[in-house]
């Protein structure tokens, strides 16, 4: 298979983004995270700032309603009042993700990429997780917060990611059935996580 895309969903503090960056570097392919917002802005003509505001880390869980709006590939046209809605901002990021999957091998972190690309044969979906203590240790390396503040920050971030995922996919974020491979980074370490993903790729895509 010429092009392979690895999607990575991750608990905060598990090091999923780091694993993704290391994997992309090892394979010599592009790594996409926040870059997707810039690409979606260019694709749609919508100001990038709107994508940033709707990013999965930048809002509280109040943003999502009780009823999921499951992504189905549709785009809202420019003449609609909903053209710059958060739903359509997600739609354009998804469009970019699908285009990338057709054009190149790459690693994509977050943004429900596993669901957006669920019908693509060249996609390997990964969920990186770790125990609470490990996530706390890793997060403390990046944030100057008290233990209580850091704990609340992690809980809030993961709660939002779970609701973001449920809203756009109708699925539970932490359900192992959504992914090809689930890795506990506290037991493997980041380097071994990369090795396990590559080993799985070699078996899956021969």
Average of per-residue pLDDT across 140-169: 91
Quick check: 74 pLDDT over 60? yes
Q: Range of 77's domain? A: 5-205
Task: Tell me which DSSP letter residue 84 carries.
Answer: T
Angle, alpha carbons 10-12-14 (nearest 5°): 65
Per-residue pLDDT of 173-187, as tens digits, reads: 999 999 999 999 999
The pLDDT of residue 131: 96
Distance (Å, whole) CA 14 – CA 16: 6
Q: Total domain count for the chain?
A: 1
Which CATH number covers residue 62? 3.40.50.300
Distance (Å, whole) CA 201 – CA 195: 10
The pLDDT of residue 66: 62
Quick check: 1 pLDDT over 80? no
Quick check: 36 pLDDT over 90? yes
Residue 104: strand, helix, or coil? coil
Given a contact cutoff of 8 angstroms between Cβ atoms, the answer to whether 113 and 164 are in contact is no
Sheet with 106-109, side-by-side order of all strands: 30-32, 106-109, 5-10, 123-129, 181-184
Distance (Å, whole) CA 189 – CA 77: 45
Q: Is the pTM of this model over 0.85?
A: yes
Average of per-residue pLDDT across 92-100: 96
């Amino acid at each position: 298979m010429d092009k392979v895309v690895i999607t990575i969903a991750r608990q905060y503090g598990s090091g999923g983004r780091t694993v993704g960056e290391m994997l992309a570097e090892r394979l010599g392919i592009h790594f996409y995270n926040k870059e997707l917002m810039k690409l979606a802005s260019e694709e749609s003509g919508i100001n990038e700032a709107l994508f940033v505001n709707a990013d999965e880390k930048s809002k509280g869980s109040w943003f999502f309603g009780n009823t999921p709006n499951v992504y189905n590939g549709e785009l809202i046209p420019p003449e609609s009042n909903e053209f710059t809605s958060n739903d359509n901002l997600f739609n354009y990021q998804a469009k970019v993700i699908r285009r990338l999957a057709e054009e190149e091998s790459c690693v994509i972190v977050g943004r429900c990429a596993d669901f957006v690309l669920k019908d693509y044969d060249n996609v390997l979906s990964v969920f990186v997780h770790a125990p609470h203590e490990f996530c706390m240790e890793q997060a403390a390396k990046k944030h100057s917060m008290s233990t209580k503040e850091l704990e609340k920050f992690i809980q809030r971030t993961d709660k939002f990611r779970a609701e973001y995922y449920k809203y756009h996919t109708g699925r539970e974020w932490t359900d192992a059935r959504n992914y090809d491979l689930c890795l506990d980074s506290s037991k493997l370490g980041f380097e071994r996580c990369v090795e396990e993903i590559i080993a799985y790729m070699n078996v899956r895509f021969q």
